Amino acid sequence: MADRDYARRHLRFGWWSLLFFTMLGLVLESLHGFKVPAYLDASNETRRLMWTLAHAHGTLLSLVHVIFGLCVRVAPEMNARNRPLISWSLIGASLLLPGGFFLGGVVFYGGDPGVAVLLVPVGAVSMMIAVFLLARMAASAGQERASPSEGTRPRQDRSRGTSRR
């Protein structure tokens, strides 16, 4: 998949996801506004917490997708080597983290969320893999740029070469 495709994928995913999760935020605000007991009663505190976490994580992850998409476009050399893994990890995190929180709040056991919350740690690991790879690549990209020999290499060639790999 070309750089352009990755950028497009994550920008598209990010913005649609942001739309979805801001709409979820609107729904949650409406539940507050109409004082819906199933969301606001103290006995439903676990649901409120889970759905709030789903909204927050989903929204922030949407922004991460947008930033990642922009990074691919602006600095394609930064994450070229592991881009497929990073891409799928980010998408996985975006589905599992907020999804786990949300489903964990649908059915819950007193102060404990439902078993669907087990998706959350899987999503968190997925997220950490992506972030770790990005961080490592960012650091190495910085070193590469600082190196005089690398610094003279045309930027376009390097990115093209990386994308072929």
Partner 1 sequence: MIRVVTCASLLLFSTALGWSIISAREPRIPEARITYRPIQIQEGGYVSSDTCKACHPAQYEAWHDSFHRTMTQLPTTDTVRADFDGVRVTDVPGNPIDLELRQNEFWAEFGDPDWKSSEAGERPRIRRQIVMVTGSHYQQVYWYRTDRTRVVGQLPATYLITERRWIPRDSALLHPPVEKPGSETGRWNAICVNCHATDGKRRFDAPADVETAGASSMTADTQVGEFGIACEACHGPGAEHARQNRNPMRRYWQYLTGKADRSAIVQPAQLNPVLSSQVCGQCHGVWEFFDQEAERRANSIGLAYRPGDELRQTRVVVQPTKNQDSPTVRAILDAYPGYLNDSFWSDGMIRVSGREYNGLIDSPCFRNATDEKHTLTCFSCHTMHKTPDDPRPIAEWADTHQVAAGMAGNGACLQCHAAIGTNVPAHTKHQPASTGSSCYNCHMPYTTYGLLRALRSHQISSPTVAASIETGRPNACNSCHLDKTLAWTSDYLERWYATPKVRLSADEQTVAASLLWLLKGDAGQRAVAAWSMGWAPAQRVSGTGWMGVPLAMLLNDPYDAVRLIAHRSLRSLPGFDGFQSDFLAPSSERIGDTVRALDYWRRTLRPGDRRTDPALLLDAAGSPRMDAIIRLGLQRNDRPVVLRE
**Residue ranges that bind partner 1, judged by CB under 8 A:** 41-46, 109-112, 115
The DSSP secondary-structure symbol of 112 reads E
For residue 4, the minimal CB distance to partner 1 (Å) is 33
Task: Pull the structure tokens for residue 62.
Answer: 């949407």
Residue 43 vs 147, nearer CB to partner 1: 43
For residue 70, the minimal CB distance to partner 1 (Å) is 22
Closest C-alpha among 56, 69, 54, 51 to residue 15: 69
With a CB cutoff of 8 Å and minimum separation 6, the contacts of 50 are: 101, 102, 104, 105, 108, 113, 117
**Ramachandran bin of 75, using left for φ above 0, alpha for ψ from -120 to 50, beta for the remaining angles:** beta
Closest C-alpha among 113, 120, 68 to residue 93: 120
Residue 111 vs 154, nearer CB to partner 1: 111
For residue 100, the minimal CB distance to partner 1 (Å) is 14
- Sign for the CA dihedral angle at 103, 106, 107, 113 comes to positive
Residue 1 vs 115, nearer CB to partner 1: 115
For residue 83, the minimal CB distance to partner 1 (Å) is 31
Residue 30 vs 43, nearer CB to partner 1: 43
